[in-house]
Every structure is written in C-alpha cells, then in structure tokens.
C-alpha cells in the first residue's frame, strides 16, 4: 500500500516535471519591512508625441482634413469629382481658394462657384477616410458667406466608396456675411472609409471656411473634443505624467517650424495651421498631408493631463532646430523670446486669473491652475550649444519659479561622446532631471538592466523619457511591436524600478500611430478611424504603471538583485495605500521556471492575485484582428506558508500581489 502511494507521488512528480519541462527553481527572498526608497508618483508616465497622425487624424477627433484650407496646397484633402476639365460636368462648378492676407492666422477660404447644382459636388476625404459608427450622431459646423443670397441650401452627406449615402443634413446659409452654422448628421451604417460630400441648392457663389465634423461621443462628451477610445487606453494606464507635444516636433526641422505653444491657445480658428515636421521626413513613409491644426493645443494637453490624472510635462524649444535636420541656432543675444515663452507658459498653467497668461487660461474655461511642476528645456539636443542655452533658461526659470523642476536632455543616444559631455556639464550645473533616450535591440534592454545601479544617488535624477525595443533597428519601418520586444522592456523596467531612488520618470516612445499614416514604428497604441488597441508593449507599461506601489523593497537571490540569473529579472514594491506587496518577475527564457519566494518582514493574507502576461511565440503581436492576443490574465493566488511558490511560464511577465495583514 505504502509502496503504491510512493509510486503514485513519484509518478505525479515526474508528470508535473515533464509538464513544466523539468522546471528549474530559483529561490528568492523579499524583505517587506525595509523601504529602500519612496517611489515617485511620476515613475511611469506617457509621452505624447505628434508623430504618426497622433494629434490631427488621431487623438483630436476632427474628421475633416484641412478644414480651414490652410495646407500648403489649400485644396489638399478636398476632391471635386465632377469638376475636372475632362469631365462631362466640367461646367458644373468649381472650388478655388482665396487669400485674405489681413487674416494673418487663417487667411484662406474656399470660394465655390456653382453653375449646375445637380452636377457639382465637393468631397472631403478625411484622414485616410472618416470612421463613422451606425446610429452615432456627428456635429457639423462651418462658416459660410452667401454674398448674393443665391445659394439656398448646403447639403452635407456621408457617403461610402460606392457613393451610397450613409447620413445627411443640410444648412440654410441665410447671411450674406460670414456666419457660423451648425447641424447634426447621424450615420446609418458603420463605415471605416466614409467621405463627406457637400452639394448645393441654387447657382452662384458661396464662400466656405472652417468646415468641421466631430463625433458627439468624445472623451467626457466634450464638444469637439478627443477620441474617447484612445483617451480611455491612456486613462487605464493611470500614468504619473504626460510629456508633450514631442519629440522632434518641439524643435522643428527649422527654427521657424518649431512648436510655439502661444500659437496653439485661444480661439481654434485663429490657431495658425503648420506643416508637421514628420510630413515628408522619411522616404519610407511619406505623409504629405500631415499638418498641425493645433485644435489639440497646449490648453487641451493640460486638460488631458488633468483628465487622466497625470502631471503635465511640456517640452519647449530651447532655440535649436532639430540637429538631425538643419540644426539652426538662435544666436545667444536673441534667445530672450524663447526664454520668455517658458516663463509665460508657467504663468499660463499656474498663474492667477489676474495675470495676463492666467487670464488666457481662465478665458478658455479653466480658471483653476493646472498645477505645473515640470518643464522641459529642449528635446533631444546635444553639444556645447545646448548647454549654453540650457544655462540661460535654467537661470531665468529658477529665479522666477524656484520650485519648478527643469528637465534637461542628454541627446539621442544612451552613451557616446555627446552623452558623456552633456551629462558631465549637467551634473556640474546641478540639473534637476536629465532625460535619456534609447531605441535599442531587445537584447540591449535585457543586457542593460543594471544601467542605473551605479548612477550617483546625489546627482541629477533620471527621466527615461523615450525608449522602446526595436525588433530590427531604430527608425526602420520593419520594426514590430512583438512579444520579445515587450518582455525585454519589462525586464529592463525591473531595473528602472530597482533604481527608483534615481530614476524618477519613465515613458515608452512613441505613444501612438495611425494604421495607415504612421512614419515611425514600433508604437505603443495603434488606431485606425474606428478602433484602437494596445500593443503587447502597452500591456507591459500598464502592468508596471498600475502596480507602481509607494515603496521600493528588495527581492534578491543569494543576497543579490535578480538581474538575469537563470534569465529571470525581478523588482518588488509595497503599496502603503492598498497595503499590498507587489512582486514583478520576468522570465525571458524559453522554458517555464519555478520561483520559491521567501517573504520576510510582514504577515500576509493567504489570498492574493497573480497577473500573467505571456505569449507562446516571441514574434507574436496584437493586431486589429486580435487586439488582446497578448494581454494580462488574472487569477486568485493562494499563499501556503511564508514562501510563495510561483510557476513562471516561458517568456512571461508575472505580477504577484499579496495583502499585508
Ligand atoms: O519618437 C521619435 C523621435 O525619436 C522623437 O521625436 C525624438 O525625440 C527621438 O529622436
């Protein structure tokens, strides 16, 4: 009998072993009682960069491309199918654009001459089409002037590629002078590639401008607001901060093309349209129709930060155009307006309603300050020209706003001569926080998990501001958001977390991309005109961010951090608010492994939660067809005794959460 039992137990053990592939066991120890350091609420954030149609055509829910006819080609995005010379209906009508130079910020408008109101139409193609959803209402607004009163009606319809009408409304342009009209259309079908068709009743001339269309269903139902599905993805991450609006977009290819926040606030109509610097940057993905309407401007960025509970982190030009492009420099004696922009931005965000810029904010509907604590000087600058300019900014900002934390930059690479020079100088200057960028191979991320172990704890703090594993290599269109990249980033992030004493902010880059209009890949969130999904990298970021904790504690193997022994990586925190211990373990090997974790220093409840993110193949990816192929699964975890036993699947990220008693 006894013999039989032993045989059964042994057999069972053998079966389990073969099931787990003779899983190797790693013994770990967690010391819950000792806090190594407090973890900053800003530890995990997001970096919103206007690249890949992230603003216009993406987060900003405007559906009409070139609504104010201000693109370099003023009729780009607008099609007149019956108005080309070879058409039978050549005489039906024509749209041209006129320029009123006194209207400095929005000089162009569209003049439509209708000769045959049964034959003429003008279409807007949207941002690679317009995504419309069955039964959803859409808000139309436009400005029109009907000088002779001959145009009786403006008819606006959604159509599909077969010209089938999918919703319709009309406007009666009663006034001779410019007037804004509004109407509503409801979509009768869901269609990803709808267009907006405009026809007329009556013949003669009508002038049109600011032809705009938004879904009514926006984030927080704000009129003419942001795409709800995309903001929801950001909100769900509980990001500690949001860096905006770039990226190289801040610098511009030339100084004239830099991002100027003052031109992005106030009345939307008066925000001067500007070419986006990513427009034709890459031969591999030209997007000549990429412009910035600035409908998503600095007020909206601050509001977004507030909505998603993230600290705002605006980045400003420091008087240097992108050093990959022209590298144009503002002479030192002309730097003052740039510095003033930074001081005024702080007033815009935090100043009382009685200050000039605080009043602008209040007039836009937000009398309460935005509580700005961080400001970035330059994006990815390098060399003595940067340091020289940074000094001027830092002096001016700190003398007026001593508690403002300034983010400086160390250039585009995580090492090398420029990096070393920048760091040396910034350290001597007692810089608050230095931004580091790395777009490297998945292996680099796994190999560099100890990067911050030796950073001086008394020196500037670190902002890992732009990083993403590149499956091929940086700036290659063939990079994929694959599982190997994502779990390698997770391994690296355990190193960021272990070094929370010096690493205070971190963010993946870039944040989002339009399925058809991207320039840069990989990206954390992908969207088209109807849907969006988080990549595997998104779920890694979300796991860390939503399990940030308040205190760093140690998780060790033989007294040393777990930094790749047995291909395992780990970090641990506790959360003072939820009274939880949270362990993050990453298994980067192709075999399942076991971990036996001795939890010392606090009594724990036996019931916990185990979250696992895994996928069988390193090349697996999420997609529109399978948006949650790689997404976390959560199950109850039972703690038996003082040691937690965990099975860590091959290629996996595991988060174990246990309540302290
Ligand atoms: O994220 C893409 C680009 O990479 C950013 O604009 C720039 O800061 C970096 O070079």
CA of 199 to the centre of ligand 1 (A): 42
The predicted structure's pLDDT at residue 642: 85
Q: Could you give the CA distance from residue 516 to residue 518 in angstroms, rounded to a whole number?
A: 6
What is each CA distance from 626 to 541, 611, 620, 629, 630, in whole angstroms? 19, 20, 11, 5, 9
267 has a pLDDT exceeding 80: yes
The predicted structure's pLDDT at residue 12: 39
**Cβ contact 299:372 at 8 Å:** no
Q: Give residue-wise pLDDT tens across range 538-584.
A: 999 999 999 999 999 999 999 999 999 999 999 999 999 999 999 99
Quick check: CB of 523 below 6 Å from ligand 1?
A: no
245 has a pLDDT exceeding 90: yes
38 has a pLDDT exceeding 80: yes
Q: Give residue-wise pLDDT tens across range 283-298.
A: 999 999 999 999 999 9
Q: Which of 125, 251, 300, 380 is catalytic?
A: 380
CA of 359 to the centre of ligand 1 (A): 33
- Of the two residues 1 and 470, the one the predictor is more confident about is 470
The predicted structure's pLDDT at residue 279: 96
**Which strands form 93-99's sheet, in the order they lie side by side?**
93-99, 108-114, 204-215, 137-145, 179-186
Strand ranges (E), 410-478: 433-440, 461-469
Nearest CA to ligand 1 atom 10: 412
CA of 406 to the centre of ligand 1 (A): 19
What is each CA distance from 487 to 83, 215, 445, 613, 652, in whole angstroms? 54, 36, 10, 9, 7
308 has a pLDDT exceeding 90: yes
Q: With bands split at pLDDT 50, 70 and 90, how would you rate the model's confidence at 91?
A: confident
Q: Could you give the CA distance from residue 323 to residue 321 in angstroms, rounded to a whole number?
A: 6
18 has a pLDDT exceeding 50: no
Quick check: CB of 522 below 6 Å from ligand 1?
A: no
CA of 334 to the centre of ligand 1 (A): 26
- Residues of the chain with pLDDT > 70: what percent? 95
**Cβ contact 28:555 at 8 Å:** yes
272 is catalytic: no
The predicted structure's pLDDT at residue 7: 40
The minimum-distance atom of ligand 1 relative to the CA of 248 is: 6
Q: With bands split at pLDDT 50, 70 and 90, how would you rate the model's confidence at 618?
A: very high
The predicted structure's pLDDT at residue 90: 56
The minimum-distance atom of ligand 1 relative to the CA of 247 is: 6
The minimum-distance atom of ligand 1 relative to the CA of 412 is: 10
Nearest CA to ligand 1 atom 6: 247
Quick check: CB of 245 below 6 Å from ligand 1?
A: no
Q: Give residue-wise pLDDT tens across range 149-195.
A: 999 999 999 999 999 999 999 999 999 999 999 999 999 999 999 99
What's the mean per-residue pLDDT of the chain? 95
């Amino acid at each position: 009998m006894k013999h039989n039992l032993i045989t059964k137990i042994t057999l069972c053990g053998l079966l389990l072993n073969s099931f787990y592939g003779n899983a190797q066991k790693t013994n770990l120890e967690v010391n819950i009682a000792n806090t190594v350091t407090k973890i900053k609420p800003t530890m995990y954030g997001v970096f919103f960069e206007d690249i890949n149609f992230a603003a216009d055509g993406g987060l900003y829910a405007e559906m009409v491309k070139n609504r104010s006819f201000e693109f370099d080609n003023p009729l780009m995005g607008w099609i007149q199918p019956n108005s080309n010379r070879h058409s039978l209906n050549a005489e039906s009508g024509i749209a041209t654009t006129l320029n009123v130079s006194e209207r400095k910020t929005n000089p162009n408008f569209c003049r439509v001459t209708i000769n045959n109101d049964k034959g003429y139409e003008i279409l807007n193609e949207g941002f690679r089409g317009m995504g419309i959803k069955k039964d959803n209402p859409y808000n139309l607004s436009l400005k029109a002037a009907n000088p002779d009163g001959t145009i009786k009606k403006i008819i606006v319809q959604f159509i599909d590629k077969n010209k089938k009408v999918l919703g319709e409304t009309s406007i009666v342009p009663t006034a001779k002078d410019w007037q804004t009209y509004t109407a509503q259309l409801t979509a009768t079908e869901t269609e990803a590639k709808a267009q907006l068709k405009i026809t007329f009743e009556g013949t003669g001339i009508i002038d049109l401008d600011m032809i705009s269309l938004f879904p009514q269903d926006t984030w927080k139902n704000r009129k003419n607001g942001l795409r709800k599905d995309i903001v929801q993805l950001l909100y769900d991450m509980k990001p500690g901060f949001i860096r905006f609006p770039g990226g190289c977009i801040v610098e511009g290819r030339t100084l004239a093309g830099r991002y100027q926040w003052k031109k992005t606030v106030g009345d939307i109509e008066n925000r001067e349209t500007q070419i986006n610097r990513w427009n034709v940057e890459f031969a591999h993905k030209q997007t000549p129709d990429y412009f910035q309407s600035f409908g998503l401007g600095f007020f909206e960025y601050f509001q977004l930060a507030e909505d998603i509970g993230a600290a705002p982190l605006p980045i400003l030009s420091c008087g240097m155009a992108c050093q990959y492009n022209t590298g144009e420099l503002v002479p030192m004696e002309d730097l003052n307006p740039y510095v003033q922009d930074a001081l005024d931005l702080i007033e815009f965000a935090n100043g009382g309603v009685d200050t000039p810029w605080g009043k602008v904010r209040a007039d836009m509907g937000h009398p309460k300050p935005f509580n700005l604590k961080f400001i970035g000087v330059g994006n990815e600058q390098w060399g003595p020209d940067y340091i020289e300019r940074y000094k001027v900014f830092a002096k001016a900002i700190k003398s007026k706003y001593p508690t403002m934390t300034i983010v400086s930059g160390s250039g585009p690479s995580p090492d090398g001569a420029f990096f070393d020079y920048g760091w040396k100088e910034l350290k001597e200057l007692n810089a608050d926080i230095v931004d580091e960028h790395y777009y490297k191979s998945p292996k680099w991320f796994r190999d560099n998990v100890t990067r911050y172990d030796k950073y001086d704890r008394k020196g500037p703090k670190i902002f890992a501001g732009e990083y993403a594993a590149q499956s091929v290599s940086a700036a290659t269109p063939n990079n994929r958001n694959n599982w190997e990249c994502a779990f390698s980033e997770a391994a690296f992030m355990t190193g960021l977390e272990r070094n929370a004493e010096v690493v205070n902010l971190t963010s993946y880059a870039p944040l989002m991309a339009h399925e058809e209009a991207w320039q840069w890949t990989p990206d954390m969130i992908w969207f088209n005109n109807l849907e969006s999904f988080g990549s595997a990298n998104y779920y890694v970021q979300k796991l860390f961010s939503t399990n940030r904790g308040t205190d760093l504690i140690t998780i060790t193997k033989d007294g040393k951090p777990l930094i790749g022994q047995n291909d395992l990586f780990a970090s641990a925190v506790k959360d003072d608010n939820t009274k939880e211990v949270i362990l993050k373990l990453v298994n980067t090997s192709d075999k399942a492994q076991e971990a036996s974790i001795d939890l010392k220093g606090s009594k724990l409840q036996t019931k916990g939660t185990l979250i696992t993110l895994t996928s069988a193949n390193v090349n697996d990816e999420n997609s529109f067809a399978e948006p949650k192929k790689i997404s976390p699964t959560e199950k109850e975890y039972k703690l038996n005794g003082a040691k937690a036993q965990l099975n860590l699947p091959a290629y996996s990220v595991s988060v174990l959460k246990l309540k302290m008693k």
